[in-house]
Amino acid sequence: MRQWVVVALALAALGSPVRAEVALDQAGVQDRMMVVFDKSVPAADKAALAAKHGLEVIRDWAPLNALVVRPQAGKSLPSVAALKSEFGVLAVGHDEWRYWLDAEAASLRQVPLPSVGAVLKRLPKLGDKVGKAEEVQWGVRRVNAPAAWARGNMGRGVKVGVVDTGIDPTHPEFSGRIVGGTNAIDSKQPWADDHSHGTHVAGIIAAALDNNGTVGVAPAANLYAIKVLTKDGQGSLFAILGGIMWCVQNGMEVVNMSLGAPQGNQLFEMAVNQLASADIPLIAAAGNDGKAVNFPAAYESAIAVSALCPEGGDENPKLCNGSAIAAFSSRGPEVDFIAPGVKNLSTVLGGQYKAYSGTSMATPHVTGLAALAIAGGAKGSAAVRAALQRAAVPVAGLNASEQGAGLIDADRLR
């Protein structure tokens, strides 16, 4: 006991534990653990625990009062049980590395901006013309976003966090619109997208209304790129949790997570609950395996989104098989809303456009609608959820486990 007190006092004199900002990459995943402490445990005691167990602190997440640690040189990781037995420790867990994306690319070729009009003509129910080279995509039209724009609501200034593969800052749809971001894998590296998934998601949320290409649901919202996944769509659980912590610390007003896994865990849920504690709504993809809702969408505080087919369906039975809900879409009691998720044309790397299908694409429609609700006066998770529920209209032929409250009509966000 005396030795513990001496170590704690020494570290308290030095201040916060020294942190080595090492990358949360695949190479070190097996050596990383996370320890969550009770809110009453001070920094000095956390540092003392790490020192006692031969651990080096590589992340210190204040919102969760948690440390990410790895063994000091020449040491090995302690057992979960050993750390859990310490006073003030709430949870302990190992990092994991996995593939987090399962969006299905539609069978359209990637096209440069000047030829996008020809591709638009081949897509179902594309919608109203905005300008010579710009169209409202079928999904944006299906949620009736232009009705909100006509009232002057384009989501102006709402802070939208996109937790994904990053966003391409060079795409013309985002000129001056990506206000900030972080690389939660390695803070020394850029947050720019090197995959396209995050850029595609961001385009559905907030591609500019600028007479070019496509337009998002909330074209005046401010985007923040939180890169948590690699160019292969893979990443560590802790990088994702770090991205969530960044959203809390930087005051996002709504967060989009078009990613997921079939199993959750205590650490993941605790991080998601920090968004709820900060009154930040989380919009998350239900999943694309046609089965149970994935995590984080399945957590109670998240808003889970399933995927809607175009009116009239699609010729590909793997996408739409005679039902309004996409064949691949996960479903269950956790689903809150349904949104367009089949052959959604949006932004990808290199200033180009491509159609993807998936609940990954349905989710940003709801995130954009949440931004419209926030811009219209709904503040905080409960108010945003209530506004979206009031604006939702049930889709004929679907039950609650498939669509939740239904499809949101932006014109009803009043």
pLDDT single digits (tens) 171-215: 999 999 999 999 999 999 999 999 999 999 999 999 999 988 999
Range of 72's domain? 2-95
Domain boundary among 95, 130, 158: 95
Inform me whether the pLDDT recorded for 251 exceeds 50. Answer: yes
The answer on pLDDT for 303 being more than 50 is yes
As for how many domains the chain has, the answer is: 2
Instruction: Answer left, alpha or beta for residue 412, where phi above 0 means left and psi between -120 and 50 means alpha.
Output: alpha
| Residues 123 and 210 occupy one common structural domain | yes
Does residue 177 share a domain with residue 80? no
My answer on whether 118 and 232 are in the same domain is yes
* pLDDT score for 128: 38
Q: Token match 């923040």: residue?
A: 224
Are residues 136 and 83 part of one domain?
no
pLDDT for 19 equals: 60
Angle between helical axes of 2-14 and 43-52 (0-180°, round to 10): 120
DSSP structure string for 289-344: SSSS--BTTTSTTEEEEEEEPPTT--S-TTT-SSSSB-TT---STTEEEEEE-SSE
Q: Is the pLDDT of residue 343 over 50?
A: yes
Do 81 and 130 lie in a common domain?
no
pLDDT tens readout for residues 262-286: 999 999 999 999 999 999 999 999 9
At 45, which CATH number?
3.30.70.80
Query: Residue 3 has what pLDDT?
Result: 45
**Residue indicated by tokens 């998720």:** 341
Annotated catalytic residue within 60, 95, 102, 164: 164
- 87-101, 133-147, 312-326: least confident range: 312-326
Q: What is the pLDDT of residue 131?
A: 42
Question: In this structure, are 37 and 127 located in the same domain?
Answer: no
Q: Tell me the pLDDT of the chain averaged across its residues.
A: 89
What is the reported pLDDT for 17? 52
Task: Indicate whether 115 pLDDT > 80.
Answer: no
pLDDT in tens, 116-174: 333 333 333 333 334 444 679 999 999 999 999 999 999 999 999 999 999 999 999 99
Residue 211's pLDDT is: 86
Task: Judge if 59 and 172 occupy the same domain.
Answer: no
Same domain? 75 vs 172: no
pLDDT at residue 4 greater than cutoff 80? no
Indicate whether 82 and 135 sit together in one domain. Answer: no
Which of 53, 171, 195, 197 is an active site residue? 197
Quick: pLDDT tens for 20-39. 679 999 999 999 999 999 99
Last residue of a domain, one of 95, 123, 143: 95
What number is the average pLDDT over the span 352-375?
98
| Exposure letters 123-140 (e unless 16+ CB within 10 A, then b) | beebbeebeebbbbbbbb
Contacts of 327 (CB under 8 A, 6+ apart): 290, 317, 318, 319, 320, 321
Taking residues 243-255, report their average pLDDT. 98
Domain boundary among 95, 114, 138: 95
Mean pLDDT for the stretch of residues 323-338: 97
pLDDT tens-digit series, residues 66-77: 999 999 999 999
Q: Assess whether 360 carries a catalytic annotation.
A: yes
Average pLDDT over every residue of 316-328: 90
Residues 286 and 400 in one domain: yes
CATH code assigned at 236:
3.40.50.200
pLDDT of 382 over the 80 cut? yes
Task: Write down the residue that tokens 């926030």 correspond to.
Answer: 374
Q: How many beta carbons lie within 10 A of that of residue 157, not counting itself?
A: 13
Q: Is 186 a catalytic residue?
A: no
- Residues 68 and 115 grouped into a single domain: no
Is 121 in the same domain as 73? no
Catalytic option among 236, 306, 360, 381: 360
